[in-house]
Chains A and B, each alone.
Chain A
């Protein structure tokens, strides 16, 4: 996989939305170790702003999203993203193991629901799985 290929591939770009810098850093370190490009957002609001600017809305291959965040929280951000960019797979990464919330979010089209703390191997496996699958188009 050449650098240009990687750089231009939407599949290699991952958006991390989490309010804790340490969490974002750990996730970025893990993803970068398998040569994935990472962009970060501190909360839902910043993520939406990011997605609206430039070509990111189409070029992000995967979104990792926390739930509990200030300003625009995860649930609201996911609702927005699923409405405007339904093809981008979203994996929820939360420290908040609520099965009802999980079901509710999966119904909204979330690809997966991961509970913190999570091991590197498990994270990467899920990310790979999400990236390798066909991009989902609006089938709702």
Chain B
């Protein structure tokens, strides 16, 4: 019933599951069948074999016992037969006629000398051998008549008789029923034995063959006793051995071949329905085995009838007769019951056949029943397996209905439970996944919208400098409405002009191997400053422009750019990011800021100016007032001189200030020759020093122009030169050199001043930092120089040795046309 629903999905679902489970599918059933066969059939076979052997053994025992009984019975029968004969013959020997005949003969011969005896015996022998009609007295003697009468009994022995005769003590024939015997039988061993033996001695001879007829004969001899119980003659009875015993032996047959036979202890057959009497059994071992002292049976190889197979032979000695025979000839007589092994073992073979058949049938039955049972067991297991494999594949599987009422049902229930729980947890997982997906999507949208909303352009490059990501701001900058630039190089976007992008690309390429992680790119903290009373002209920090160092001009707009390292995943290839910020306004603001800084809050800058001017002004005013009240012309002249000196100082200060304050935004940028600007700056600087003690060494090279505002460049050099001249306190040497270097212009200004202490080297660009005495510097000079150099993308370096002098070297990028 459940084969069909279970089988169908197995076929359907088998597509994927076949590889791993096909081999295992048929295994359980076979295993079960085999187990049943082994468990059921092996003991069965063992039991059968055992019972076969046991049966065979019992059967053999039974057969042997019955053979033994048969042999014994036969032997008893023959014993009785022989005893009967002995008794009958004993009676015969007591017959007076017989005795007298023997006595008479003995007496007659006793008185004859040997010559007469020989003659008489020869005569009688001749008469016996050549009988004349009615003259053969022996036949007609009374003794012969008695003998003949004796044979008239209708007994088997009478019929088997071949000769019956008597002989006297000399062995001379004294009566016979036929002419079978010799006349003188002295040589007969029986005669000797009996005549010399004791009373009652009976002789039974061995089987021998009649010289003429080849008939196997056996001789019985009985003593004829005289007056003193002394043997006086012998009664001989010769039987055809076969005829004598066959009546007792040959009728006993069983089956087709079973029969009893009689042998003597030498293995000579006395009577057998098959073998001829007198036949010598060939196997001495067999003969020895079956001629034990007591009735028994044996299982032996060979049967005495030519067969070589195992046979069972029952045997029994002739209990009474053996005494006689062994005394007579040393031989014992035995009966032995035998059956041909084929027939004998037929029942055993039959038993074997039955048992094997039964075994085979049982095995077959076990096989069939096992198969059925295994199918019954395996079927639900297969359903379970199928369901489990479907569950494993994540299919939705309904509840399994297995009602076997055993462990399999319990297992099915467990599987159902497991399935339910799995489905529950799966659905839970699905929900989680859905939620997580939602979260991820939200996060992505969130990040995307952040990146989209950021006014700065963000571009992420892969290690081959192809664009991996760009935001809206970037699209706005390049002013191209393309869905995605992914996989493109910035050089392949068809941008015009390409030069700034090429510059940017080169920078990216250079930075690809040497970028700083974005984390390190942070602006310094700018805490709120609380005002405390201090020298306002003391050095103070101002926001550095270094973070905006790198700028690029794209379409009339100035962008500060920053390259940062992007660690996407541990061990992934290096990505770099480019951040572009529109700093056009900031740059403008910065210019204004620079100005504003110079004019800052009247509190600082005007203070500087005021201080610079007010000090000489104090002197001028003061001395002028003194002059007004003074009468002494010498003193007046002296004070007037001071007024003039101080006025000159003021002029110098004003000159400095004017160059400093002038707003740089008034002029436009143009190509500027550095050499020219340096010359101009030298003029002003020298003028301002009022000193004749400065020696100037110039070594100018021919230079490419730079692109800048002329006044600002002049300001840079003026400030530096003023600084140096002031440092040398009007006495010393200025060495000024310029040269072109790798697309840059480099100017060096060295003085022979006292040098800058190392601890000040980092502070010299700070605004209002000064080491000069009151009135000799604003503290803004080098700050302005630094700002301007940075503004034009240049660099400024300073080296200084105490007591030897200071060298400033300034680099500006050359303007490439």
Which residues in A have some Cβ–Cβ distance to B below 8 Å? 19-20, 22-23, 25-27, 29-30, 33, 67-70, 73, 75, 94-101, 104-105, 108, 115-120
Contact = CB atoms under 8 A, between A and B. Distances in A.
Given A98-B607, A100-B603, A101-B533, A115 B614 contact: yes
B669 to A, nearest CB: 37
Nearest to B612: A95
A37 to B, nearest CB: 18
Contacts of A68: 535, 537, 611, 774
Among A68, A105, A115: residue with most chain B CB under 10 A: A68
29 contacts: A19-B773, A19-B774, A20-B615, A22-B622, A23-B615, A23-B622, A25-B619, A26-B618, A26-B621, A26-B622, A26-B623, A27-B622, A29-B626, A30-B622, A68-B537, A68-B611, A94-B611, A95-B610, A95-B618, A96-B614, A97-B606, A97-B610, A98-B607, A101-B533, A104-B533, A115-B614, A116-B618, A117-B617, A117-B620
A98 B606 CA distance: 9
Contact of A95 (B613, B620, B625, B629): B613
Contacts of B531: 100
Interface of B: 531, 533-537, 603, 606-607, 610-623, 625-626, 629, 642, 646, 773-775
Nearest to A107: B533
Contact of B611 (A22, A73, A96): A96
B533 A75 contact: yes
Nearest to B625: A120
Contacts of A75: 533-535
B353 to A, nearest CB: 136
Contacts of B625: 30, 119-120
A99 B606 CA distance: 12
A115 B625 CA distance: 17
A60 to B, nearest CB: 22
A117 B535 contact: no
B621 A117 contact: yes
B614 A67 contact: no
B621 A105 contact: no
A70 B610 CA distance: 18
A67 B615 CA distance: 12
Contact of B626 (A26, A117, A119): A26
A105 B533 contact: yes
Contact of A33 (B614, B629, B773): B629
A102 B623 CA distance: 27
Nearest to A104: B533
Most buried by A among B606, B613, B622, B626: B622
A27 B610 CA distance: 19
Contacts of A117: 614, 617-618, 620-622
Nearest to A115: B614
B112 to A, nearest CB: 203
Given A98-B603, A116-B615, 10 more contacts: A19-B774, A22-B615, A22-B646, A23-B619, A25-B622, A26-B622, A95-B614, A96-B611, A98-B536, A108-B533
Contacts of B629: 33
Contacts of B626: 26, 29-30
Contacts of A115: 614
Contacts of A73: 535
A115 B618 CA distance: 10
> Chain B: interface secondary structure?
helix
A115 B621 CA distance: 13
Contacts of A96: 536, 607, 610-611, 614
Contacts of A23: 615, 618-619, 622
- Which 4 A-B residue pairings sit nearest by Cβ, starting from the closest? A26-B622, A95-B614, A22-B619, A116-B614
A70 B771 CA distance: 9
Contacts of A97: 606-607, 610
A46 to B, nearest CB: 15
Contact of B617 (A67, A70, A116, A120): A116
Contacts of A119: 621, 625
Nearest to B623: A26
Contact of B619 (A26, A101, A108): A26
B28 to A, nearest CB: 100
Nearest to B531: A100
Contacts of A98: 536, 603, 607
A120 B630 CA distance: 14
A27 B625 CA distance: 11
A68 B615 CA distance: 11
A42 to B, nearest CB: 11
A50 B629 CA distance: 32
B533 A120 contact: no
A116 to B, nearest CB: 4
Given A95-B615, A97-B607, A119-B621, A20 B535 contact: no
A75 B773 CA distance: 17
A20 B619 contact: yes
Contacts of A116: 614-615, 617-618
A94 B620 CA distance: 15
Nearest to A97: B610
A95 B621 CA distance: 13
A29 B536 contact: no
A123 B363 CA distance: 143
A45 to B, nearest CB: 14
Contacts of B533: 75, 101, 104-105, 108
A96 B536 CA distance: 10
A6 B535 CA distance: 37
Contacts of B615: 20, 22-23, 95, 116
Nearest to B533: A104
A29 B616 CA distance: 16
A25 B611 CA distance: 18
Contacts of B773: 19, 70
B440 to A, nearest CB: 57
Nearest to B645: A22
Nearest to B535: A73
A23 B625 CA distance: 13
Contacts of B618: 20, 22-23, 26, 95, 116-118
Given A68-B537, A101-B533, A115-B614, A20 B620 contact: no
A20 to B, nearest CB: 6
Contacts of A25: 619, 622
Nearest to A117: B617
A16 to B, nearest CB: 12
B603 A67 contact: no
A69 B535 CA distance: 10
Contact of B774 (A30, A70, A100): A70
Contacts of B623: 22, 26
Contacts of A108: 533
Nearest to A19: B774
Nearest to A69: B774
Most chain B CB within 10 A, of A33, A95, A100, is at A95
A75 B606 CA distance: 19
Nearest to A21: B619
A98 B629 CA distance: 32
A123 B164 CA distance: 209
A33 B536 CA distance: 34
Contacts of A27: 622
A30 B624 CA distance: 11
B654 to A, nearest CB: 15
A96 B602 CA distance: 10
Nearest to B630: A29
A118 B618 CA distance: 7
Given A20-B774, A68-B537, A75-B533, A120 B622 contact: yes
Nearest to A74: B535
Interface hub of A94, A117, A119 (most chain B Cβ within 10 A): A117
A108 B533 CA distance: 10
A22 B606 CA distance: 22
Given A115-B614, A117-B614, A67 B535 contact: yes
Nearest to A78: B533
A80 to B, nearest CB: 14
